[in-house]
Chain A
Amino acid sequence: MATINVSHARARGLPREGGPAPSARRRKAPLGRRVRRNLVSYAFLIGAILCFLVFSWYPIVHEFVLSFQHLNKFGQTEGWRGWRNYQNMIHDPSFWTSVRVTLVFTGLALIFGYAVPFLLAVGLNEFRHAQGFFRLLVYLPVMLPPVAAAFLWRWFYAPDGSGFFNTVLHFLHLPTSQWLQSPNNTFVVLCMVIFSTWSNMGSGVLIYLASLQGIPGELYEAAELDGAGIFKRIWHVTVPQTRLILSLMLLTQIVATMQTFTESLALTRGEPGTATLVYQVYQDATNFGNFGGSAAISSVLLIVLAIFSGAYLYVSRRVAEE
Chain B
Amino acid sequence: MTAFDTHTRTLISRTQLNRPLARRLYWTALVVSIVVFAFLFLFPLYWLFSSGLKSASEVEQIPQTLIPHSWQWSNFSTAWSSYDLGRFIFNTAYYAFGAVVLQLVFDVAAAYALSKLRPVLGNVVLGLMLATLMIPATVLVIPNYLTAVNVPVLHWNLINNPMAIWLPSVANGFNIFLLKRFFDSIPEELMAAAAIDGAGPLRALRSIVLPMSRPILAVVSIFAMVAVWKDVLWPLLVINDTSKMTINVGLLNLTGDGIPLNIEMASLAVAAVPTIVFFLIFQRNIMAGLTAGSLKG
Contacts and interface: CB of A to CB of B under 8 A. Distances in A.
Q: Are A and B associated in one complex?
A: yes
Interface of A: 2-20, 22, 37-38, 40-42, 44-45, 47-49, 51-52, 54-60, 62-63, 66, 74-75, 122-130, 133-141, 143-149, 151-153, 155-156, 160-162, 164, 167, 170-171, 198, 203, 206-207, 209-215, 217, 220-221, 224, 230, 233-234, 238, 244-245, 248, 255, 259, 261-262, 265-266, 278, 281-282, 285-286, 291, 294-295, 298, 301-302, 305-306, 309-310, 313, 319-320, 322
B248 A6 contact: no
B247 interface: yes
A145 B229 contact: yes
Which 4 pairs of residues, A with B, have the shortest CB-CB distance? Answer: A8-B293, A19-B188, A41-B119, A217-B9
Contact of B119 (A8, A45, A57, A134): A45
Contact of B142 (A55, A126, A141, A285): A285
Nearest to B232: A262
Given A210-B295, A298-B140, A137 B37 contact: yes
A162 B226 CA distance: 33
Interface of B: 3-4, 7-13, 26, 29-30, 33-34, 37-38, 40-42, 44-45, 47-48, 51, 59-64, 105-107, 109-110, 112-114, 117-120, 122, 125, 128-130, 132-147, 149-152, 167-168, 170-174, 176-178, 180-182, 184-185, 187-189, 192, 201, 216, 223, 226-227, 229-230, 232-233, 236-237, 247-249, 251-252, 255, 261, 264-265, 268, 271-272, 275-276, 278-279, 283, 286-287, 290-297
B293 to A, nearest CB: 3
29 contacts: A3-B174, A6-B174, A6-B177, A12-B216, A12-B293, A19-B188, A20-B189, A41-B118, A41-B201, A42-B113, A45-B113, A47-B105, A49-B110, A51-B171, A52-B173, A128-B7, A134-B37, A137-B40, A140-B45, A145-B247, A153-B44, A160-B62, A170-B62, A221-B9, A255-B136, A259-B138, A298-B142, A306-B135, A320-B297
Contact of B292 (A12, A136, A305): A12
B252 A265 contact: yes
A145 B142 contact: no
B185 A14 contact: yes
A37 B120 CA distance: 10
